[in-house]
């Protein structure tokens, strides 16, 4: 049951990351990765992550997933903008 909660929390964080990445201001997408870096450093500094290699792997893997979500969110926003511009252009041609 504990694993289910972890999966749900991770899915929720990735969903929030995607949502923040689709906002007009690009910096909203940096909130969760920065918080993740700070949290990871805190966990390593307080010896909750014992090995340096484990810390680096957790940090890089987590950032990889967050950056992929950020990229997908930005692409989605750009596609929406392009669709709106195409609608405006076709409406102006009439």
| CB crowding 51-80: b at 16 or more within 10 Å, else e | eeeebeebbeebeeebeebbeebeeebeee
pLDDT mean over 11-30? 95
Considering the chain, what is the average pLDDT of its residues?
94
Give the predicted TM-score (pTM) of the model.
0.87
Q: Is the pLDDT reported for residue 2 higher than 90?
A: no
- Specify the pLDDT at position 1: 77
d(CA 56, CA 34): 15
List Cβ neighbours of 3 (8 Å cut-off, separation of 6 or more): none
């Amino acid at each position: 049951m504990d694993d289910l909660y972890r999966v749900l929390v991770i899915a929720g964080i990735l969903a929030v990351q995607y949502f923040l990445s689709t906002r007009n201001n690009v910096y909203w997408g940096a909130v969760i990765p920065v918080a993740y870096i700070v949290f990871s450093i805190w966990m390593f500094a307080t010896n909750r992550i014992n090995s340096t290699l484990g810390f680096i792997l957790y940090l890089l893997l987590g950032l990889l997933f967050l950056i992929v979500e950020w990229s997908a969110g930005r692409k989605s926003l750009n596609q929406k903008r392009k669709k709106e511009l195409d609608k405006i252009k076709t409406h102006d041609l009439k």
